[in-house]
Structure 1
Amino acid sequence: MSTGTTATTVPVGRDGEPGRYDVLIGSGLLGLLPQALGGGVRRVFLVHPRALRSTAHDLRDALQEHGFRPLTAEVPDAEGAKTVEVLAGCWGELGRAGFTRSDAIVGLGGGAVTDLAGFVAATWLRGVPVVQVPTTLLGMVDAAVGGKTGINTAEGKNLVGAFHPPRAVLCDLAALRTLPSADLRAGMAEVVKAGFIADEAILDLFEADPAAALDVDGPQLRELVERSVAVKARVVTDDLREAGLREILNFGHTFGHAVEQVEHFGWRHGEAVAVGMVYAAELGRLAGRTPPELVARVRSVVGHLGLPSTYRGDRWPALLAAMGRDKKNRGDTVRFVVLDGVGRVSRLEGPTPEQLEEAYTLVTL
């Protein structure tokens, strides 16, 4: 990881191999978008939510000044963007605009928008370049990094998707200044997740001063973002297509994705992951994997974030059904990522029905 005067560069992938790209982290990076798009690109399809209309228009004007022919596409906010109907609408606009394989997509927004934009890029003409410009903490440390793209269906979250590495990712920390506090805290769930699975320094930094860690203009938050992205970059480099190691990034996600689905995506992703981490910690303890003191630490960190560590007690059948459709499963075997220690992660395959339900009772209201 190399640091320049204004931006930190975190490489993803190995030099000389397909799919190698850089994640740039700093403030005031939007001006680097033309450079990130690279030579040969003429048309640019800029996907953004309604809330970022003004920023999208500014980017459109800047791209025009650099000789690009940009087209903006406004999509619904949050998970409302990740539907087959929105996807088809984007395909239609690309077709009418005559987009070719030498043109590019830009995803400007939170994790849902970057997931959608990446999938549009992966599927149009079997793959065109995409540059991700995440504007939320969740997008910066999770969704926009790693090349996983997709949409939701009625049957589950992210069941339809593709692996499609971006050409570059621009994490402009200045965008976080207007991010609602609830979204910042929810995004921090993915940051501390990276601490639990791979980098204890993240946890130490957060626990030393939780308030400073949430200061968008402070050095702690930038370091947390850099460390979190570095964790994901190392994992993705070794396992681009989630064949094994990359599954550790799903700590808290099996239960968390089920909560999102049962709540019809009314919960923020980070909120669901937070309670999902508590559930996975309790399940790991019941299976003899996770030490009790580590379960307590997971609960403490989630509590200091002000995120939920409990869930309602009348949703077990629906949650169990949703977890049974999780994409990490193999056949009828439900698989969970659990902690054997900080930075020591393993897979728990086929926990007993009794363990699954008892862990649920330990996170109910």
Structure 2
Amino acid sequence: MCQCHASPGPRQPINCIVPPYMLEVLAMRGDAKTAKAARAQLELNEKARRERQDRQSLRMTPQSTLPTFDFVTPALSQATMQRNLDRAVHDGEQKAALPGKLVRKEGDPPTGDVDVDRVYDGAGHVYDLYFTHFQRDSLDGLGMKLVQTVHHRKNYSNAFWNGEQMAYGDGDGEIFSTFTELSVIGHELSHGVVQFSGGLVYQGQSGALNESFADVFGIMAKQHALGESVDDSDWLVGKGILGPEINGVALRSMRAPGTAYADAVLGQDPQPYHMDFYMDTTSDNGGVHINSGIPNHAFYLYCQYLGGNAWAKPGQIWYHALQRLNNPLASFHDWAGQTVSSAMELHGIGSLEVNLLRRAWKLVGIQV
């Protein structure tokens, strides 16, 4: 994860949407103002990393403490489930303290502040996706309140989940325009789902899987809210958050990893789409935001094979796999194998769903 500077809870990592490699490029290529801001954020990131090391290991929720979920039709599950959507949006007033001033709570009318109302609605869309199609009551499965803060710090160019709540900066208006886009909201809140599903250690391939799951469900939240099929979707994570002068369309593309941006200041999107181009690096916690392009692309390919809606068969398999994984240090091969096992459990050995899933993983260089 990008180590943001906000103070997390004990032993809890902070997951940011803007990866550190983008900040490193900005520090080298940006104008004086941009480079200074990027260096300052990188220094704060490093401080947060050291503090996390001092706390030693990451805290992850034991799988045995979580509620169990029956993978049956939504109508049958919802008949016995109670909807516990509870949102609270705060105004950070461009200060560092969290959560800030409460400005809209569950059931309140719109405030007129675009960012406040956007994240309020966005959290509702994410909750609806998990509740309706995955029978999950909020991030922890137990009705956890969805706390969010907008206008975090002055010109802050990032958004993050700190283990307890979401926070969104306003961007600098040049490199980044906004962070309250729905796939970003879905991405960051889905880090909470990973956290409360046993966790994936945020380093190397397991960290890239953590990022990939968040991307998968972030784009799925946007598709669900817009009523998009897998063919209708642009498959762009963070579309519209780049500034007007930046040559790019988003932070990441699941359809074509490595093509989201190519800019004189930001550089070239480094994500690979195949294991042949896997980046072995010590940067970015072992390339968690970079190499996540590989499992992202596998999910995209699988959705193209099956058609329809991503939250149907593909999403059910991915969610089922996360609940069954029980391996916080999982490799890409481990995860691919678990998705195939989940497909077998849900659709049967030798089913079309299983065979097409094996093919999707093979196309990104992972043989299962």
What is the TM-score with the length of structure 2 in the denominator? 0.34
More helix by share: 1
| Greater fraction strand | 1
